Amino acid sequence: MADLHTVLITGASSGIGRAAARALARPGHRLLLGYATGEDRIHRLAGELRHATGVECVPVRADLGDPRAAVDSCLAAVDRVGRIDGLVNNAGVNDRSAADALDLKRADEVFAVNTLAPMALASAVGHRMIRDGVRGSIVNVTSVHETVPITGGALYCASKAALGMVTKVLALEFGRYGIRVNSVAPGETATAMNGVQDEDAYREIRRPDIPLGRPAGAEEIASLIAFLAGPDSGYLTGASVLADGGLALTAAEANARHAFTTVPPRENPPA
């Protein structure tokens, strides 16, 4: 059925990608579920979604560590089903390499998965949409750290910042064809990639330095992805939607607490 609304999600076997698949499993949709590892998990997810929603789910092996092979694999899956309407570039890797000990091999790995593969995939999918006259949507998952630095984050932050700029450039170029390109920039999210095995327990985790006091749940980020992928965000393109519980607001707080304690008293305080 080539008329189904087809969305490709990378990194769909766990975390935000799995939650995005659940959020996008709607009548009239077809999901291409990209994965590099976790083949058993992806097939369980596909079976779960088919049973619960009746949505056609097609596992697609795509290791973004090899961007050329990943793009070829994804496009082959698109060719088999006949169309592509949406892309969620979710797959990513974390890294905390000390700035004085950066390894170029690791840099290649991080940028391949976090920047080069999603950029190449967005380009290729955009080309298909333009060719076929599809007014589609591309959603890139970046990070609060595309703009907020973190110690040990030279590779990770730079790779996500680059994907954030790719989002804006593609939005500029694809807009004339009715193709929207946006990004979601999550803060800390309770997923296995961040060391949280019980992803449903995010509301019980305390993070006192985040204004909302906790990390995000994967489904909370997925709801934004689904919004950007769908028609309700039809006039939004080139945007980066920050979903960080207020984390980025706190940059000056520690210093402000210190500065407040060292401000000399006024000789004539206001009445």
- State the Cα–Cα distance between residues 157 and 154, nearest whole angstrom: 6
Alpha-carbon torsion, ordered 212, 139, 91, 198, to 10 deg = 30
> Which one is catalytic: 156, 177, 202, 235?
156
| Distance set, CA 13 to CA 6, 61, 90, 215, 244 (Å) | 18, 11, 11, 21, 23
Q: Which of 188, 234, 230 is nearest to 94 (CA)?
A: 188
Residue type, 62: A
| Distance set, CA 113 to CA 6, 40, 121, 166, 199 (Å) | 23, 21, 11, 14, 23
- State the Cα–Cα distance between residues 254 and 201, nearest whole angstrom: 28
- Asked if 124 and 116 touch (Cβ cutoff 8 Å), the reply is no
Burial 88-111 (b: 16+ CB within 10 A, else e): bbbbbbebebeeeeeeeeebebbb
Question: CA torsion sign, 233 to 236 to 239 to 245?
Answer: negative
Sole residue written with tokens 């990513």: 92
Active site residue 235: no
Task: Give the active site residues.
Answer: 156
